[in-house]
Amino acid sequence: MTLEELRAALDARLVPEARRWLAESLAAVRRDPSQIRLRFPAAGRHLGRGAVVNHASSDEQVPRWTMDQAGRVLLLAELGDRVVDELDELYRYGDADEQRAIVAGLHLLPIGGRGLPLVVEALRSNDARLVAATVGPYGSARLPDHLFRHAVLKCVFVGVPLAAVHGLDRRADSELARMLAGYALERVAAGRDVPADVWAVVHRFDPWEELAAIKAEMKAPRAAPRAAARRALAALAAERRRS
Amino acid sequence: MRIFEPHAHMTSRTTDDYETMAAAGVTVIVEPAFWLGQPRTSLGSFVDYFNSLLGWERFRASQFGVAHHCTLALNPKEANDDGLRREVLAVLPRYLAKDRVVAVGEVGYDSMTPEEDEAFAAQLALALEHDLPVLVHTPHRDKLAGTRRSLDVIRESGLPPERVLIDHNNELTVREVKESGCWLAFSIYPDTKMDEDRFVRIVDEYGTERMLVNSAADWGRSDPLKVVKTAAAMMEAGRSEDEVDQVVWRNPVEFFAQSGRLELDVERPAAPATFAGNSILRGERPA
């Protein structure tokens, strides 16, 4: 979604009072960029917090624009090139909603690579919604390979579905597949289920060492790992049939 | 009975206390920013404290269906540190713009120094600017003089008295504060400041209008169920259910609703919930 599409989608949802507040706030921020320090945190109670568009997805973890987030990104964008002077402190003093809006909107701001440290910082959090924002368009385009792979692995750990990872097909590589298969092996050895969405990446690169170890768990002394290995290999086979 | 706890330092309490309070009928808590029993030495400690009042405490409370709010300010004790006073007052406007901040507080006096004067006046001005009510802490020592001086400073600030809640009152301060038009709160403690029976006698004399009680629930000897126990003491003393409801619910709602940021309903997240990856189950997932 482009900035103008986001603006139009938000506008369609706003009640007149909220629309007035947004127009006033955009004008205030244009006049005096430091005004964003007061307008940005207040966006939720003036604009509302509902979804901007009704996505068909019922998955709560897939990031989608809410009215407060969209409004916050429009405020940031209004600063133009001066946004870099405010961005770091807005993030540092931001609450969970504010930080998420920043990370989710970085690709819509004229900042080049200067937002990357914030994505890296957000990756250190364990807040699933914030982690999901790190693998949006900005993080996916700019995270170095090593950090991108760890971001994907962290998504799996904290329960963010891999459907939320922007451009996963393009950026997945054999090393990421090895890491995901290693994670699957750990789960199987503990007798646990493996998140179903890892197999699409794993099967593209077939990391044989980890897959062999999962097969070996079929002969484990305990029943739970044996059953978990059976379920995992069945899921992998189903993925192969699909593609 | 519905209970609003208008002043509890939940940062110092265990998760079990939230559970106990919720079971006793507490559905809303306001947590004022104060000091932590020892002085902080850097701005970062304040920033992390404010963030925890807006984030982690709200999450902990929500696990038990309790709607958590906070009041934010530089407290009078730490206002005496010149460097911190400058730095905390500089970041405070950002925080006063946030959701769930329902007042500026606790402000006021500790030792009535010029530094405290400066911080108090500056934060009353911030309250006007941010359209927020104010929670005023009255000093432990020289309380009557400190309360009078607080009322003078408030009058000079231009804040209307109905936007101000004067806290930690006792028999000596109640008359003048009531006459000022400000709201009055009483911190009910196990053995200091004020107890349930003394509060009941004050209500006999001054009525229930603009009166609030709280348990403070801080890191000292205190009891997070004191609002519940005060309500029971009022009933036992023959006050009507309507009068009790006014003190433990309608008055705090009316006062803090002036912020426009009071949210009385809390959505209980589906278990197992986490905040920043941290659950009150300490990492242990139910099987």
B55·A126 Cβ contact <8 A: no
Quick one: A111 and A186 in the same domain? no
**pLDDT given for residue B108 in this prediction:** 97
Quick one: A105 and A195 in the same domain? no
**pLDDT given for residue A127 in this prediction:** 83
Task: Among B54, B91, B278, select the one facing A95 at the smallest CB separation.
Answer: B54
Helix (H) or strand (E) holding A30: helix A16-31
A128·B277 Cβ contact <8 A: yes
pLDDT digits (tens, 9 = 90+) for B188-213: 998 877 899 999 999 999 999 999 99
Residue A132 forms part of a structural domain: no
Asked whether the beta carbons of A129 and B55 are under 8 A apart, the reply is no
Average pLDDT, chain A: 93
CA distance A64 to A98: 14
pLDDT of A84 over the 70 cut: yes
**pLDDT given for residue B191 in this prediction:** 80
Q: Within an 8 Å CB–CB cutoff, is residue A15 touching chain B?
A: no
pLDDT digits (tens, 9 = 90+) for A143-186: 999 999 999 999 999 889 999 999 999 999 999 999 999 999 99
Residue A227 forms part of a structural domain: yes
Percent of chain A residues past pLDDT 70, beyond the cut: 96
Quick one: A121 and A176 in the same domain? no
Tell me the CA distances in angstroms from B175 to B137, B179, B205, B221, B277, one per residue in order.
17, 6, 10, 28, 50
Residue A223 forms part of a structural domain: yes
How much is the average pLDDT of B138-145? 94
What band does B32 get if pLDDT is binned at 50, 70 and 90? very high
Quick one: A100 and A9 in the same domain? yes
- B-chain CB neighbours of A42 within 8 Å are 97-99
pLDDT digits (tens, 9 = 90+) for A203-243: 999 999 999 999 999 999 999 999 999 999 999 999 999 98
Task: Among A45, A96, A128, select the one facing B55 at the smallest CB separation.
Answer: A96
Given A106, A125, A144, the domain boundary residue is A125
What band does B275 get if pLDDT is binned at 50, 70 and 90? low
Q: Within an 8 Å CB–CB cutoff, is residue B97 touching chain A?
A: yes
What chain B residue is nearest to A98 in terms of C-alpha separation? B98
Residue A235 forms part of a structural domain: yes
**pLDDT given for residue B138 in this prediction:** 96
Domain span at residue A91 reads 3-125
Q: Which CATH superfamily is domain B3-257 in?
A: Metal-dependent hydrolases (3.20.20.140)
Residue A160 forms part of a structural domain: no
Q: Which two tokens stand for residue B120?
A: 């108090």
What chain A residue is nearest to B50 in terms of C-alpha separation? A93
B276·A125 Cβ contact <8 A: yes
Q: Who wins on pLDDT, B154 or A54?
A: B154
- B-chain CB neighbours of A126 within 8 Å are 274, 276-278
- A-chain CB neighbours of B69 within 8 Å are none
pLDDT of A191 over the 50 cut: yes
Q: Is the ipTM of this complex over 0.85?
A: no
Weakest-pLDDT range from A57-66, A120-129, A230-239: A57-66
Q: Which two tokens stand for residue A128?
A: 């699933």
**pLDDT given for residue B280 in this prediction:** 59
Q: Within an 8 Å CB–CB cutoff, is residue B112 touching chain A?
A: no
Weakest-pLDDT range from B12-26, B55-69, B180-194, B270-284: B270-284
DSSP letter for each residue of B189-229: -SSSS--HHHHHHHHHHH-STTEEEE-B--SSS--TTHHHH
How much is the average pLDDT of A133-139? 96
pLDDT of B92 over the 70 cut: yes
In one-letter notation, the amino acid at residue A94 is: G
Domain limits, chain B: 3-257
pLDDT of B143 over the 90 cut: yes
Quick one: A26 and A105 in the same domain? yes
Residue A10 forms part of a structural domain: yes
Dihedral (C-alpha) B25, B27, B30, B35: value to the nearest 10 degrees?
Answer: 60
**pLDDT given for residue B181 in this prediction:** 98
How much is the average pLDDT of B237-249? 97
What band does A126 get if pLDDT is binned at 50, 70 and 90? confident
Beta bridge partners of B183: B165
Residue A117 forms part of a structural domain: yes
Residue whose tokens read 């009507």: B240
A95·B99 Cβ contact <8 A: yes
**pLDDT given for residue A163 in this prediction:** 92
Quick one: A7 and A121 in the same domain? yes
Percent of chain B residues past pLDDT 70, beyond the cut: 93
What chain B residue is nearest to A45 in terms of C-alpha separation? B99
**pLDDT given for residue A82 in this prediction:** 97
pLDDT of B278 over the 90 cut: no
How much is the average pLDDT of B62-83? 96
Asked whether the beta carbons of B95 and B127 are under 8 A apart, the reply is no
Helix (H) or strand (E) holding A240: helix A223-242
A158·B277 Cβ contact <8 A: yes
Tally of domains in chain A: 2
Q: Which two tokens stand for residue A221?
A: 């002394």
What chain B residue is nearest to A44 in terms of C-alpha separation? B99
Question: Would residue B157 be called left, alpha or beta, if left means φ above 0 and alpha means ψ between -120 and 50 degrees?
Answer: alpha
Given A125, A152, A180, the domain boundary residue is A125
What band does A58 get if pLDDT is binned at 50, 70 and 90? very low
